Amino acid sequence: MSYAIVGFGKVGQALAHAFARKNIDVSVASRRPPEALAPQARAIGPTVVARSLRDALGADTVILAVPFGEHREVAKALPSWTGKTVIDAMNALLPPEELDGLLSSAFAAKAFIGARLVKAFNHLAAARLAADPIVEGGHRVVFLSSDDEDAIAPVAALAKQLGFAPVKLGKLNEGGALVHARDRIWGQLIFQDLFRKEQ
């Protein structure tokens, strides 16, 4: 399984730290050329490699850590998303009418036709995501939701590999609504920093 993080701001870099901590290879890309990201990527760890957006999108699993308004540009960079898993780590502070009345992940999923979309890693602040998820014998919780039940399993496996404790919330518009931000209203589980004894 190959991984890429698209977006190399605070959240993208925090996730890159999580991959580096476990020596898992990950490509990172943004609107900036790879040469601009390379020094920061190298500083995080040898398994973090800056690539062009097109090269990074060759990965099996793509984590979206871009500002919400940029997700369509990322989607257009590939002719087909079929067979790929897209992890939505974005938050959209937009009113429902700008999202066609949908939750942001369901709205974003429309741009990534053929992909399996899972909402994950969006409810923790970047500093928490970057920190070691194992504290006093407990694992920091990461919430997962998707309308594709089969898509959740590999993302849960990745979360475990990174040291987190995945908790499945079900479909995007059901339990997933607890980790969505809309129109300055934050879901009840956003920013909840929880731990579980077992992964």
39 contact partners, CB below 8 Å, separation of at least 6: none
Model pLDDT for residues 33-87, shown as the tens digit of each residue: 999 999 999 999 999 999 999 999 999 999 999 999 999 999 999 999 999 999 9
CA distance 173 to 59: 27
Tell me which residues of the chain have a pLDDT lower than 50. none
Structure confidence at residue 185 (pLDDT): 67
